[in-house]
Amino acid sequence: MNHKNEESDTLTEAKTPVSNFIRTIIDNDLQTGKHSKIVTRFPPEPNGYLHVGHTKSICLNFGLARDYQGVCHLRFDDTNPEAEDVEYVDSIMEDIRWLGWDWKDKLFYASDYYEKLYDYAEILINDGKAFVCELSAEEMNKNRGTLTQPGIDSPWRDRPAAENLDLFRRMRAGEFADGQMTLRAKIDMRSGNINMRDPVIYRIKRASHHRTGDKWCIYPMYDYTHPISDALEGITHSICTLEFEDHRPLYDWILDQLPVPCHPRQIEFARLNLSYTVMSKRLLLTLVKEGYVNGWDDPRMPTVAGMRRRGFTAAALRELADRIGVAKASSTVDFELLQYCVREDLNKHAKRVMAVLDPLKVIIENYPEDTTEMLEAINNPEDETAGTRMIPFSRELYIEREDFLTDPPKGWFRLAPGAEIRLKHAYYITCKEVVLDADGKIDKLICSYDPASGGGWTEDARKVKGTLHWIDASNCIPVEARIYDQLFTVSDPMSAEEGKTFLDYLNPDSLKVIKALAEPSLAEAKPGESFQFLRLGYFCADYDSKPSAPVFNRVVTLKDSWQKKGVVSQRLV
């Protein structure tokens, strides 16, 4: 994968954190002496790529560990071999590192605990707290009851412990078929909480595991595995999302029955939702598998890999996580906030360059024909250390077609017949003549320049309000610009109207490929390198770039308070 982490800030310097209910709990636990050090964990299942929703959880868990001088473990919750794959564990580790976090030597897998988990299960059985059930999946489902009706006890519920133990051992030994029996916790079939209705804790599943291979044919369930894994690792605060709230009684029940080293506290918070996108692994998988996007790292995807490729920076993603806060109210954050975070970071770090997406030729009639002069251009006004570079200027140039209007509206201070504008870093030019082609379309502009305005400035107090970006027609390179827009046309693709699905809201214009022209320096752009194309937006070199044929992904546009006024309606993109 081609990317690099252009971090200039450091994660060790935490800003003053905004208070949230989890910090309040931790502060309290530290103050009362319940804990002297905190241990958190990020527990992904390796069954898909990480998305922005996960970055909230990652930054929360690793951020708490950083701020409280604790540690955060990375633990793969790999208890369902059918869905999991090393491709995913690799991408997850890569993404977390790219985000700037370090789990040091605290890398774990739930599958590392299979043996211990098994031993604990035998304890449960011996204590009469678990039983082997021979109900089929359908029968069990039927006996479970409904949301409003209690379930009924399994006929196998009161088997003697010895028999349960024998059966469970034989389950492990592979004597039974997949699905033929399960190990269930013996809790309460009449509980209002369906998770407590004798939940399955082990199932028989002959699937090759990405780490344990074919060693096991029984696999523990999440609700059983997770609390024990947390306890074995000495996790103090086990932070998860809201949908696990009613699993907490089960989490606590499991730990209460067993001689585990400690009893971590599960705390739930609201997951991140972002407008104009979807945040479920299942839906993202659909987009990938059915070809609506070009893979997990398609720049339109809300995956960490996709956003990285698009040019969103790790610092921006972390900033987003900091800004959205942590609470228990389900919420959907405006995509605008993410864009703000990206612009904020890129504004400080991206080198300014010039490129023209939709060229309109300009001929400077009073500029010598066989001259090319090199002009000095500042690389980043926000960062003096970024230095300057030289850019070529000669008689024939290109400007952005939308920067010229024959009959401009009031308030227009770009180019128009007779108008004078500044070419960034170059000269003032005045439009003398508009040349049309056979179809009546504007073919080129004949302009004159003021030789006294070198560098884009004159000593007189002349008012030249407009400044345009441009490129030298004979000293530029062709580049491919991939112009991205929201993948969906509605802010909440999940709440589809009758008979529609989220796929019906895919934005047909989410990607436009444009042949653009850019200043020569861009020929050397490295994949992953970000630039501000002056006045157009931030662009990031894609790994599809070839040495002489760079490809740029548009990360985000610049804010445009002029366009917002609605005066210019037809923008190229």
Partner RNA sequence: UGGGCAGUAGCCAAGUGGUAAGGCAGCGGGUUUUGGUCCCGCCAUUCGGGGGUUCAAGUCCUCCCUGCCCAGCCA
Number of residues that bind RNA (CB under 7 A): 93
Query: Is 245 annotated as catalytic?
Result: no
Is 136 among the residues that bind RNA (CB under 7 A)?
A: yes
- Interatomic CA distance for residues 187 and 130, integer angstroms: 8
Is 204 among the residues that bind RNA (CB under 7 A)?
A: yes
Instruction: Give which of 161, 244, 155 is closest to 198, Cα–Cα.
Output: 155
Q: Which window, 152-160, 165-173, 304-312, 561-569, contacts RNA (CB under 7 A)?
A: 561-569
Minimum CB distance to RNA, residue 177 (Å): 10
- Interatomic CA distance for residues 451 and 445, integer angstroms: 18
Site for RNA in 249-308 (CB under 7 A): 270, 275
In this chain, which of 66, 129, 144, 159 binds RNA, going by CB under 7 A? 144
Site for RNA in 231-260 (CB under 7 A): 242-247
- Interatomic CA distance for residues 378 and 38, integer angstroms: 47
First-last CA distance in the chain: 29
Minimum CB distance to RNA, residue 439 (Å): 26
In this chain, which of 135, 171, 357, 483 binds RNA, going by CB under 7 A? 135
Site for RNA in 455-484 (CB under 7 A): 455-457, 466-468
Site for RNA in 26-45 (CB under 7 A): 43, 45
Is 424 among the residues that bind RNA (CB under 7 A)?
A: yes
Q: Are 49 and 95 a contacting pair, CB within 8 Å?
A: yes
Q: Which window, 3-11, 124-132, 324-332, 497-505, contacts RNA (CB under 7 A)?
A: 324-332
At 294, the amino acid letter reads N
In this chain, which of 87, 119, 509, 560 binds RNA, going by CB under 7 A? 560
Query: Is 248 annotated as catalytic?
Result: no
Question: Is residue 266 within a helix (H) or strand (E), and if so which, with residue range?
Answer: strand 265-269
Query: Is 271 annotated as catalytic?
Result: yes
The pattern of x and - marking residues 104 through 133 that bind RNA according to CB under 7 A reads ------------------------------
Q: Which window, 97-105, 112-120, 140-148, 251-259, contacts RNA (CB under 7 A)?
A: 140-148
Minimum CB distance to RNA, residue 347 (Å): 5
Residue holding tokens 């208070």?
A: 19
Residue holding tokens 């024959």?
A: 406
In this chain, which of 256, 562, 571, 572 binds RNA, going by CB under 7 A? 562
CB contact burial 44-63 (16+ within 10 A = b; e otherwise): bbbbbbbbbbbbbbbbbbbb
Is 194 among the residues that bind RNA (CB under 7 A)?
A: yes
Of 416 and 511, the one with the shorter C-beta distance to RNA is 416
Is 162 among the residues that bind RNA (CB under 7 A)?
A: no
Is 219 among the residues that bind RNA (CB under 7 A)?
A: yes
In this chain, which of 1, 14, 21, 387 binds RNA, going by CB under 7 A? 21
Minimum CB distance to RNA, residue 409 (Å): 9
Minimum CB distance to RNA, residue 321 (Å): 10
- Interatomic CA distance for residues 415 and 420, integer angstroms: 7
Minimum CB distance to RNA, residue 542 (Å): 21
Handedness of CA 252, 327, 49, 179 (dihedral sign): positive
Of 145 and 234, the one with the shorter C-beta distance to RNA is 145
- Catalytically annotated residue among 56, 144, 281, 352: 281
Alpha carbons within 13 angstroms on the beta-carbon side of residue 334 total 6
β-strand partners of 60? none
Q: Which window, 230-238, 291-299, 364-372, 528-536, contacts RNA (CB under 7 A)?
A: 528-536
Q: Return the beta strands (E) in 167-233 as ranges.
A: 182-185, 200-204, 218-220
In this chain, which of 309, 318, 414, 482 binds RNA, going by CB under 7 A? 414
- Catalytically annotated residue among 41, 45, 186, 424: 45
At 400, the amino acid letter reads E
Minimum CB distance to RNA, residue 466 (Å): 6
Q: Which long-range contacts (CB under 8 A, 24 or more apart) does 378-385 make?
A: 378/352, 378/425, 379/351, 379/352, 380/349, 380/350, 380/351, 380/352, 381/352, 382/347, 382/348, 383/348, 383/349
Q: Which long-range contacts (CB under 8 A, 24 or more apart) does 200-208 make?
A: 200/133, 200/140, 201/121, 201/124, 201/130, 202/121, 202/168, 202/171, 203/179, 204/171, 204/176, 204/177, 204/178, 204/179, 204/180, 205/81, 205/82, 205/178, 206/174, 206/178, 207/81, 207/82, 208/81
- Catalytically annotated residue among 23, 157, 271, 328: 271
Site for RNA in 327-386 (CB under 7 A): 327-334, 336-337, 340, 343-344, 347, 352, 380-382
β-strand partners of 145? none
- Interatomic CA distance for residues 433 and 442, integer angstroms: 11
Site for RNA in 63-92 (CB under 7 A): 77, 79-80, 83
Site for RNA in 480-519 (CB under 7 A): none
Of 308 and 352, the one with the shorter C-beta distance to RNA is 352
In this chain, which of 10, 12, 69, 146 binds RNA, going by CB under 7 A? 146
Instruction: Give which of 74, 59, 70, 75 is closest to 26, Cα–Cα.
Output: 70
What's the DSSP call for residue 453?
G
Of 40 and 511, the one with the shorter C-beta distance to RNA is 40
Is 438 among the residues that bind RNA (CB under 7 A)?
A: no
Minimum CB distance to RNA, residue 182 (Å): 5
Residue holding tokens 């990480």?
A: 50
Active-site residue set: 45, 271, 281
